[in-house]
Structure 1
């Protein structure tokens, strides 16, 4: 039986992944909400190769997604999920957990933050962004962030963030080394990452939207670099 997405109620797509000690787990994916459901401790037992596979899933699903519901229930027990904050090294990330410990609901952006792919904007970058736009889309939950009022999402408390291609290159290299899979990295990867860094930086100069168009999502704007890097395996 398919797992119902806590965010939208649609059936999630199971993705089989390798876990430690020769096991496998099925992580449920909702492309519409841009989120994963991890049963119990699934997120902590994934092999480095499994984490890379989830990065591929994220890179392939860049379509517009709906904001998350303000109230979400565990797909196992229907108990209300609780917004929870945690730390990975020096990076603060969030997820919605089941109080009965059935699992957790994690957006793509917060999964990337947990794996040190995403960084918060500096005060100077926030000031530069505010000079161009008044509202951005939260990379975590999809809600609008009023930059004039705050630099964090009023709903999920995630700070305005951007995908960091430099850190991304480092983390992917570390995961590949841990997976111990022999392969050659495409020599054009560095050039493509440089181009994507330029694209992300250019957002701060070109985000003026006098026509009142859709609020930008800075994390999704950098996902092209993730796809380029992973396709070089």
Structure 2
């Protein structure tokens, strides 16, 4: 995977990292990553030009950067080509509904990593009983699509963007990787309850780190896992997919 510095991120303005990946039929396609925002910029139709190997490479890159701090998306996103505002919309695929941010001048679109995972079939939507099971241990999370808080005890979808709650499912990942890269994934958990346990463990570790920081440098976090989302946590649980 070839890497060069490229255009400004539509959200944070930092330099996008341009990665040359194999195209579907021949040649290369250049995809721009922002690991600070956990986002991807696709020039017009580039998301449809990725070869199976390229899709697996993007997923691996997402996995490698899963623990890095995430900058919340700005309320206004700008096209890195013309600097015009991006228009928010939705696309629907078999694995769920996801948010897109498109340039009105058709220069391309900005997509979060979580939206990319939904688009390419790495996730499945949670059932209401599964959401209730997670809610017993975790009160609230961030929406993987827009970042808004979701109270699992009251909601079975994001009240802000109406995106359904999704989870990286081992069987879905295995099926997707067999389709894209012919590489099976190892199952790393047995149920959504295991994801809830992982969120609780992350919150305990975060609380410990907060207590050990000097008082003036402490950061406040909401209770019940508000600092995490289901897709990022389940991505972390798939640590056996590749040797980093």
Q: Give the SS at the match of 1:2.
A: strand
Residues 227 and 43 from structure 1, CA distance in 2 versus in 1: closer, same or farther, beyond 3 angstroms?
farther
Tell me what 1:56 maps to.
60
| CA–CA distance in structure 1, aligned partners of residues 121 and 38 of structure 2 | 18
Provide TM-score, normalisation by structure 2.
Answer: 0.79
| CA–CA distance in structure 2, aligned partners of residues 99 and 135 of structure 1 | 34
Tell me what 1:198 maps to.
190
Tell me what 2:45 maps to.
41
C-alpha displacement at 1:205, in angstroms?
A: 5.4
Residues 151 and 29 from structure 1, CA distance in 2 versus in 1: closer, same or farther, beyond 3 angstroms?
same
Q: Which has the bigger relative contact order, CA under 8 A and spacing at least 6? A: 1
Residues 132 and 89 from structure 1, CA distance in 2 versus in 1: closer, same or farther, beyond 3 angstroms?
closer
Which stretches in structure 1 are left out of the alignment for 5+ residues? 178-184
Residues 156 and 69 from structure 1, CA distance in 2 versus in 1: closer, same or farther, beyond 3 angstroms?
farther
C-alpha displacement at 1:228, in angstroms?
A: 2.2
Instruction: Tell whether 2:111 aligns with 1:106.
Output: yes
Match of 2:130 among 115, 122, 125: 125
Provide TM-score, normalisation by structure 1.
Answer: 0.82
Tell me what 1:223 maps to.
235
Cα contact 1:14–1:29 (8 A) shared by 2: yes
Count of residue correspondences: 219
Which stretches in structure 2 are left out of the alignment for 5+ residues? 208-222
Residues 129 and 90 from structure 1, CA distance in 2 versus in 1: closer, same or farther, beyond 3 angstroms?
closer
C-alpha displacement at 1:226, in angstroms?
A: 4.3
Residues 131 and 89 from structure 1, CA distance in 2 versus in 1: closer, same or farther, beyond 3 angstroms?
closer
| CA–CA distance in structure 1, aligned partners of residues 197 and 145 of structure 2 | 23
Residues 50 and 207 from structure 1, CA distance in 2 versus in 1: closer, same or farther, beyond 3 angstroms?
closer
C-alpha displacement at 1:81, in angstroms?
A: 1.1
Provide Cα deviations, 1:31-90, integer angstroms capped at 9, x if missing partner.
111110000011111111111110111111112312211221211122221122122345
